Structure 1
Amino acid sequence: MQKEPMTIYGYEKLQRELKELKEVERPQIVKEIDIARGHGDLKENAEYHAAKERQLFIEARINELSEILSRTQVVDPATITHEKISFGSTFKVMDLDTEFVYEYTIVGAPESNPDRGFISFYSPLARQLIGKVPGDEINAKLPNGEIDYEVLEVYYKEISFE
């Protein structure tokens, strides 16, 4: 099984979610199912069926998180030099056509959220920018076309997923 990189911040966030599901959500839904069972005929008991559906969702998410965490290689971006773009780096690039500046941070796949500037290590843009330094220009081949970028800055910035 290949280990997947993930920042320490993302790893801790997923661990907190898993703990919440196991220690709070799972016991709560078991109680809700027991209460709903007490309301009589299960065939027509919407409360019972809703609780069972929620239980399935919780168990599926617990399994998913457990699987993700089991194959994670935790990387603390604070311990890496960020002279060039690498995993955990935050960087600014300028679209050379529009002169619009974008800020991104390269993170693990489960942490990615492009709308918030967190791009997956495996994304087409990240793959093409790994190893680049300020001043480098690239013609990024992306799913929606090609974009010319210039790397403006590369640095470390503490990640917050909240």
Structure 2
Amino acid sequence: MGKISYYTEEGLNRLKTELNDLKTKGRADIARQIAEARDKGDLSENAEYDAAKDAQGLLELKISKLEDIVANARILDESTIDASQVSVLSTVKIKNTKNGAVMTYTLVSEEEADLKTGKISVGSPIGKGLLGKKVGDKAEIKVPAGVMEFVVIEIGR
């Protein structure tokens, strides 16, 4: 059994859609490639056939992993989350104490993290360092570049 992961409803639906696409379109494409390669003759010396079979194996591995993730996924109910401290799905405004930069991040699961949209993983160094903090708390977070210090300015949903 895989580890239980928590997702927003949107994130879990995106995973289910990807899984469905791989099972339908992905498998159909691979089957077509194998059939085309098989039609080209001797399979013992057919590099296209070997490549298509390898691609099939990789696709099935990816499908298996996604099935495991979806089977162990749980949807987070935002109404049950304590809004007074930083937790999963919190939108946190933090200020870097050294340079005064203010950043806003939403803490999400590993698979939903996307820095471009301001979503960071709860498993990242900054995500771990912010968990459980309240407004006004200082967080000293060890990052690859050294230790950074942040102050939690605001916590939202």
TM-score by shorter chain over 0.5: yes
Is this contact kept in 2: 1:90–1:104, CA < 8 A? yes
* Identity, % of aligned positions: 36
SS of corresponding position for 1:43: helix
CA–CA distance in structure 2, aligned partners of residues 83 and 145 of structure 1: 29
Deviation at 1:113, TM superposition (A): 3.5
| Matches of 1:115 and 1:143, distance apart in 2 | 20
CA RMSD, Structure 1 to Structure 2 (Å): 2.2
Deviations 1:11-51 (CA, angstroms, capped at 9, x unpaired): 11111110000011112211221121001122332332222
CA drift of 1:115 comes to 5.4
Contact 1:112 1:118 in 2 (8 A): yes
The aligned residue for residue 14 of structure 2 is 13
Partner of 1:49: 50
Structure 2 partner of 1:140: 141
5+ long unaligned stretches in structure 2: none
Give the TM-score of the pair, scaled to structure 2.
Answer: 0.85
Q: 1:65 to 1:154 in 2, by over 3 A?
A: same
**What does residue 63 of structure 1 align with?**
64
- Measured after TM superposition, the shift of residue 60 of structure 1 is 0.9
- 1:106-157 residue CA offsets vs partner (Å, 9 max, x unmatched): 111222344553222233322221222332222223343211101122222x
Unaligned runs of at least 5 residues, structure 1? 157-162
* Counterpart in the other structure of 1:155: 156
**Aligned pairs, how many?**
156
Counterpart in the other structure of 1:160: none
